[in-house]
Amino acid sequence: MDLLKEAEALRKVPMFAKLEPSKLKLLAFTSEYQTFEDGEVLFYAGDPADCAFVIISGEVEILAKTDAGDVVVGVLRNNQIFGELALLNNAPRLTTLRAKNRLQALRITDEVFLKLVTENPEVALDLMHQLSDKLARSHQQVEALQSELHRNGS
């Protein structure tokens, strides 16, 4: 994939949509185009967070470990970024992600991503929105589980 196509693919990601064309080209230049085959793992739960990925085409399954084995808890699709939140707190990955069918993605290193966030307020603001949304969803899930436990325990 050439630099212009990569930059255009990055523009479709909401977090990067407002970046100037020159910054998108620089981000594309510093990113690594990668292809993963069906079932190939991008990273495992517990791996260090050293990069984020942008999906160009294909899908990624989010796996959670249970007593019965890994369970798919979500699917990510075109123009989505993932792995970026773990870069902020420099913590190990919480889930395993694997390609569903053939996946084409751009790999953005932690250094490049963190520099992009610190130098571009619009990217930082979008990241804050994502964190707020994730926190709100987590809170709703906890409340729903507590309600279910309360009903089952009564």
pLDDT in tens, 49-90: 999 999 999 999 999 888 888 899 999 999 999 999 889 888
Kind plus residue range of the DSSP H or E element containing 65: strand 51-66
pTM summary value: 0.85
- Helix, strand or coil for residue 99? strand
Residue-wise pLDDT for 17-51, tens only, equals 989 999 999 999 999 999 999 999 999 999 999 99
Phi, psi for 84 (deg, rounded to 5): -75, -35
Domain 3-153's class? mainly beta
In whole angstroms, give the CA distance from residue 41 to residue 54: 15
Domain locations in the chain?
3-153
Give the count of beta carbons closer than 10 Å to the beta carbon of residue 53.
24
